[in-house]
């Protein structure tokens, strides 16, 4: 297909489509970069049918393999360089790991962009699109995407695809002779258009006349509807990421800003480029039977553009039976901005808003007060929403991700620096508090990437030349890993109890003596304590607790809902880091006349879940 007119929507939509889930808050997301997840060449793992896989060449990682690629400077340099290139992950490889994800408890995949990248770049991440109507051949084919989605659906897993409206890849170049002050970079935004040197050819050189149609599918931008000067802003790169209107109009580094339209949100004038992109993404919904989109860089788009896209996508999805097609926006700039923009534009949820990732990570590590995290979910009365229903399905929560904007130039996964002890605590916080939990690939295997570039938190799970733990040629699909098994047990409990997915949420006070109760707080900059919260649903209470001390067990009285609990009532253990504790019971007491509480004793860096006794 060279143009949108080539798409036969009539035949595409004459099929049965996979239905939307009843509630997105019931789902557990798993995000992976296609290039870094699986190349399909692994052995010594369990396949989709639950059987030992055969035929692959790459063995499973062993502890002795950690650091094997960086034994000397030459090896370390080669490993680092490999991380800046396409590593070799494919859609077919990912399809072969659906069983691994299902057994973990994943019910929705968030897949990085699969669209064709400029062949003259190493845009392995997928966010610099050259052809919006095709899959990058390094990832596979359109049919491979369709097969991956079908395999996921057959295993009860929904698929969310990452899509980009704000920009295309480096599909043209500014006139370098006219702007020598740029010093090898695109000229910076100053509110005026720059002269364009030409469309970039297959080698990345601006040899093709700007504004004229291009025939080579590996050059310029596709489909043909986008090959007009009016499709792009041409105002240079963003230098100040918070200056209006620079962050809306400027290029995202070397990625060229697409002109989506203009005007206030209620009177927005939609550009031909936005209409074209909207139709393109409607095509992908029907072609691949997708269940949702994660919309990239929403901050950098006019709200009117986002609203138009959201309305058109929702209507198209509903026309083919996908009543709750999910649109999840990457919205940066603080909670208030995220709430307001989501409401105004019609997006269904915001991704990792404000500092949820920061407070979740560092609470688990004992470096934040619990109230700092839990209060993020308590103040939605300020925006006129019930504090316990708005957050449960309007926010996707996570702590590790692929770019970690919050950490500046020094990236680090949760387990970087050997901090693997609290990882189970972080998984529990993410899975058992309000919002739709999302797991970043490799977190269930304790990936520990860190460095001054995004590549170090984008390790190749399948091994290759840029393997995890600074290795080479070893994969990490290990279903016996302690974090994998702990999370699988925890997510199974979450599936069984609706309160853990939809219930109201309250941080609980604790007491050492049963008399003086208060919310746990850091002492001398550290939190070494039990942290407990309740999920209430239909007049019943479930209790979740973690121990943020990585070395010692901690015990305390934990307060409960005074009206729902009576002395002598029982709570049964549904999950514990020690499986032998599951099924044991604790009694509700009244250590003080004003309190209903239970005595909890948790091992170091562990979690537990209790529910009403039958």
Greater confidence (473 vs 180) lies with 473
**pLDDT tier at 241, thresholds 50, 70, 90:** confident
Predicted confidence at residue 516, as pLDDT, reads 96
Helix (H, G, I), strand (E, B) or coil at 312: helix
Between helix 423-432 and helix 356-364 the angle, nearest 10°, is 130
Q: Which of 403, 387, 400 is nearest to 435 (CA)?
A: 387
In this structure, is residue 586 part of a structural domain? Answer: yes
Which residues lie below 8 Å from residue 259, measured CB to CB, with a gap of 6+? 230, 231, 232, 233, 271, 273
Q: For residue range 156-210, what is the model confidence (pLDDT) as tens digits?
A: 999 999 999 999 999 999 997 777 655 567 899 999 999 999 999 999 999 999 9
In angstroms, the CA 560 to CA 508 distance is 7
Percent of the chain surpassing pLDDT 70:
95
Tell me the whole-structure pTM to 2 decimals. Answer: 0.96
Predicted confidence at residue 381, as pLDDT, reads 54
In this structure, is residue 23 part of a structural domain? Answer: no
Which residues lie below 8 Å from residue 119, measured CB to CB, with a gap of 6+? 130, 202, 218
Greater confidence (578 vs 308) lies with 308
Q: For residue range 250-271, what is the model confidence (pLDDT) as tens digits?
A: 999 999 999 999 999 999 999 9
In angstroms, the CA 544 to CA 335 distance is 25
Contact 45, 100 (CB under 8 A): yes
In this structure, is residue 557 part of a structural domain? Answer: yes
In this structure, is residue 515 part of a structural domain? Answer: yes
**Range of the structural domain that residue 514 is part of:** 497-612
- In the block, tokens 């209620």 appear at 266
Mean pLDDT of 103-128: 97
Phi, psi of 271 (to 5 degrees): -85, 160
**pLDDT tier at 6, thresholds 50, 70, 90:** very high
Q: Is the predicted pLDDT of residue 388 greater than 70, yes or no?
A: no
User: Residue 163: enclosing H or E segment and its boundaries?
Assistant: strand 158-163
Q: What end-to-end distance do the CA atoms of the chain give, in Å?
A: 59
Greater confidence (391 vs 369) lies with 369
Q: What is the mean pLDDT of the chain?
A: 94
**CATH number for 547:** 2.60.40.1180
Predicted confidence at residue 334, as pLDDT, reads 60
Q: Which of 594, 603, 574 is nearest to 586 (CA)?
A: 574
| 378 burial level (CB within 10 Å; 0-12, 13-18, 19+) | middle
Q: Which of 612, 606, 476, 596 is nearest to 552 (CA)?
A: 606
Q: For residue range 356-382, what is the model confidence (pLDDT) as tens digits?
A: 899 999 999 999 999 999 988 875 555
Characterize the bridge pairing of strands 115-116 and 261-262: unpaired
Q: Is the predicted pLDDT of residue 64 greater than 80, yes or no?
A: yes
In this structure, is residue 544 part of a structural domain? Answer: yes
Predicted confidence at residue 406, as pLDDT, reads 86
Q: Is the predicted pLDDT of residue 277 greater than 70, yes or no?
A: yes
In this structure, is residue 331 part of a structural domain? Answer: no
Mean pLDDT of 435-454: 97
In this structure, is residue 426 part of a structural domain? Answer: no
In this structure, is residue 400 part of a structural domain? Answer: no
Predicted confidence at residue 186, as pLDDT, reads 87
Domain count of the fold of the chain: 1
- In the block, tokens 């688990």 appear at 364
Mean pLDDT of 261-284: 97
In angstroms, the CA 370 to CA 361 distance is 11
Predicted confidence at residue 343, as pLDDT, reads 87
In angstroms, the CA 125 to CA 148 distance is 18
């Amino acid at each position: 297909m060279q143009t949108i007119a080539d798409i036969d929507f009539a035949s595409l939509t004459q099929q049965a489509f996979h239905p939307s889930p009843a509630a997105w808050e019931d789902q557990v997301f798993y995000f992976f970069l296609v290039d870094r997840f699986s190349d399909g060449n692994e052995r010594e793992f369990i396949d989709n049918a639950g059987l030992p896989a055969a035929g692959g060449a790459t063995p499973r990682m062993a502890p002795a393999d950690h650091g094997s690629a960086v034994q000397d400077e030459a090896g370390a340099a080669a490993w680092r360089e490999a991380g800046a290139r396409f590593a070799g992950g494919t859609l077919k490889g990912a399809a072969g790991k659906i069983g691994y994800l299902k057994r973990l408890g994943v019910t929705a995949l968030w897949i990085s962009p699969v669209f064709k990248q400029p062949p003259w770049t190493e845009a392995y991440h997928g966010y610099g699109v050259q052809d919006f109507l095709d899959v990058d051949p390094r990832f596979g084919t359109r049919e491979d995407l369709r097969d991956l989605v079908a395999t996921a659906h057959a295993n009860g897993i929904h698929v969310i695809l990452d899509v980009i409206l704000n920009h295309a890849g480096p599909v043209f170049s500014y006139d370098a002779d006219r702007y020598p002050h740029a010093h090898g970079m695109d000229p910076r935004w100053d509110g005026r258009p720059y002269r364009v040197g030409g469309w970039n050819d297959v080698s990345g050189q601006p040899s093709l006349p700007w504004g004229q149609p291009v025939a080579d599918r590996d050059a310029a931008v596709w489909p043909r509807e986008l090959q007009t000067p009016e499709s792009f802003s041409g105002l240079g790169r963003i230098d100040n990421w918070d200056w209006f209107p620079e962050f809306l109009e400027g290029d995202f580094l070397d990625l060229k800003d697409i002109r989506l339209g203009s005007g206030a949100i209620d009177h927005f004038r939609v550009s031909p480029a936005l209409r074209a992109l909207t139709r393109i993404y409607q095509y992908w919904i029907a072609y691949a039977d997708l269940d949702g989109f994660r919309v990239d860089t929403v901050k950098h788009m006019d709200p009117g553009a986002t609203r138009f896209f959201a309305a058109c996508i929702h209507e198209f999805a509903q026309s083919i039976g996908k009543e709750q097609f999910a649109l999840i926006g990457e919205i940066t700039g603080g909670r208030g901005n995220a709430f307001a923009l989501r409401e105004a534009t019609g997006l269904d949820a915001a991704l990792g808003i404000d500092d949820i990732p920061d407070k979740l990570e560092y609470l688990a590590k004992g470096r934040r007060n619990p109230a700092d995290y839990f209060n993020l979910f308590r103040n939605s009365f300020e925006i006129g929403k019930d504090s316990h229903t708005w957050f449960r399905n309007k926010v996707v929560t996570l702590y590790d991700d692929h770019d970690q904007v919050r950490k500046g130039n020094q990236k680090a996964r949760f387990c970087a620096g050997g901090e693997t002890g609290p990882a189970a605590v972080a998984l529990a916080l993410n899975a058992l508090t309000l919002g739709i939990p999302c797991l970043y690939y490799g977190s269930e295997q304790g990936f520990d990437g860190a460095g001054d570039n995004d590549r170090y938190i984008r390790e190749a799970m399948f091994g290759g030349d840029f393997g995890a733990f600074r290795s080479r040629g070893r994969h990490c699909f290990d279903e016996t890993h302690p974090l994998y098994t702990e999370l699988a047990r925890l997510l199974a409990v979450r599936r069984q109890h609706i309160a853990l997915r939809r219930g109201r949420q309250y941080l609980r006070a604790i007491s050492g003596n049963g008399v003086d109760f208060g919310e746990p707080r850091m002492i001398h900059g550290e939190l070494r304590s039990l942290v407990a919260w309740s999920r209430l649903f239909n007049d019943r209470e479930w209790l979740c607790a973690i121990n943020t001390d990585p070395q010692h067990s901690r015990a305390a009285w934990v307060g409960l809902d005074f009206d729902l609990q009576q002395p002598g009532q029982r709570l049964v253990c549904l999950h514990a880091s020690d499986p032998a504790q599951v099924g044991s019971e604790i009694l509700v007491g009244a250590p003080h006349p004003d309190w209903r509480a239970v005595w909890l004793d948790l091992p170091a860096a562990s979690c537990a879940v209790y529910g009403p006794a039958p």
